[in-house]
Structure formats: C-alpha cells, structure tokens
Amino acid sequence: MDSSENTDTPIQPGASGQADTPLQSVLDQIEVTLDGAESVDLKTVVEAFGNRAFGPVMVLCGLCMMTPLGAIPGIPPAFGVIVIVFALQLLFRRKTPWMPEMLRKVKIPANKLMRVQDKVRPILAKIDGIISARLTWAVTGPAQVLVSLVAIILSLTFFPLGMVPFGVVAPAAIVLLLGLGITARDGILIILGLSLSLGVFVGVAALFI
C-alpha cells in the first residue's frame, strides 16, 4: 500500500472555493448536479463532490436533516447510512470515497431541495464569513479518528430518532459542525461538535432507559 494513503493530513474539499465558502459550495454543487432534473438520487449527489467529499458530504447530510427534508420518511436512515459509510472511510484514511448502490433508490425532489436552498443560503453565507482554518491539530491524527467514531455513533441515532418528527435535528447539527470543521480545517468547530455530542449521547441514552 502506498504510504501516502495513511497520513495525518486532513481531508480537503474537492473544489478550491470550498475552503473559503464550504457551506455555500455544498449548495452550489447540489444545484449543478440537479441540472434541471425533477429529482436526484443520493448516490449521484454524493459522487458529484469527487474524491475528497468526506467533509462536504457530512455538511450536506447534517444540513438536510435540519430542514423539512429530514421529515420525509426514509430520509433520516438513508443519510445516517451515508455518514456512517463516509466516517468509516475517513477513519481508515481511504482516499477515494465509496458509496453503496442502494442509495440510488433514495430520491430527493428538486423542488424541495431548491426551496431549502433559498431559505438557508443567506444564513450559510453569514456562517461562511466567520469560519477559517484554525487549531488544525484538532482535524488531524488522533483527533480525526475521534471525529470519525463520534460521527458514526451520531449517525446511528438517526435510525430511532428518525421516527420522531425532527428528532434528528440535534445529532444532525453536530454532524454538520464536524463536517464543516473537516472541510474548513476549523478545529474550533471540531472541538465544539465533540463537546456537544456528549449531550446528545446522554439524551438518547435517557430516552432508551
């Protein structure tokens, strides 16, 4: 195996502009992928981000789960599968993302995607303006392993919480923070996301108890 595949370099966004405006770039890529179609499947959306899709895809999944899309039956578990698949690949430093073919069956209506974009884009523009590459040690090495494991556990909560309307908002928000931290190399967002995840884990455990 090539030694270059097992480094501590954080996964970078696929397009150069994503480092400056990672949230808006995710929306832009989705819009390009739609290309006038009435709907798009999840596998096509994910593959559109290219070989370095790990951070942007986590951002996409977290963002969608915090909008009305997260209330569509079957969508939360599907996005949970995506995050788990990508987090595992991030954990093992895989360079070329792989997606299960079954996700082609999960269709997202274009009209709903566009309505979501119109509502959230101004907010995302403000968020993009305050994030930057900082405390990058929190995005590499052991921290990257921890982020991957936490993302997997959070994604598992999408399955039971997906049965409750907007029940996935809290874990999805943390997945969004972690993905944004990876994409922008912002260690502060990573630390914040990891800290907030403890509250989600306690809350979910309390529900089952």
How far apart are the C-alpha atoms of 148 and 150, rounded to whole Å?
A: 6
Tell me the whole-structure pTM to 2 decimals.
Answer: 0.71
The answer to whether residues 104 and 61 touch, using CB atoms and an 8 Å cutoff, is: no
Average pLDDT over the chain reads: 77
How far apart are the C-alpha atoms of 105 and 152, rounded to whole Å?
A: 22
pLDDT at 79 over 60: yes
Please tell me the least confidently modeled range out of 2-16, 47-61, 129-143. Answer: 2-16
What pLDDT shows up at residue 28?
76
What pLDDT shows up at residue 180?
87
Give the pLDDT band (50/70/90) at residue 191: very high
Give the pLDDT band (50/70/90) at residue 77: confident
How far apart are the C-alpha atoms of 110 and 116, rounded to whole Å?
A: 10
Q: What number of residues does the chain have?
A: 209
Query: pLDDT digit string (tens) for 98-150?
Result: 777 777 777 777 777 777 777 777 877 777 777 788 888 888 888 889 999 99
How far apart are the C-alpha atoms of 62 and 60, rounded to whole Å?
A: 6
Mean pLDDT across the stretch 47-66? 76
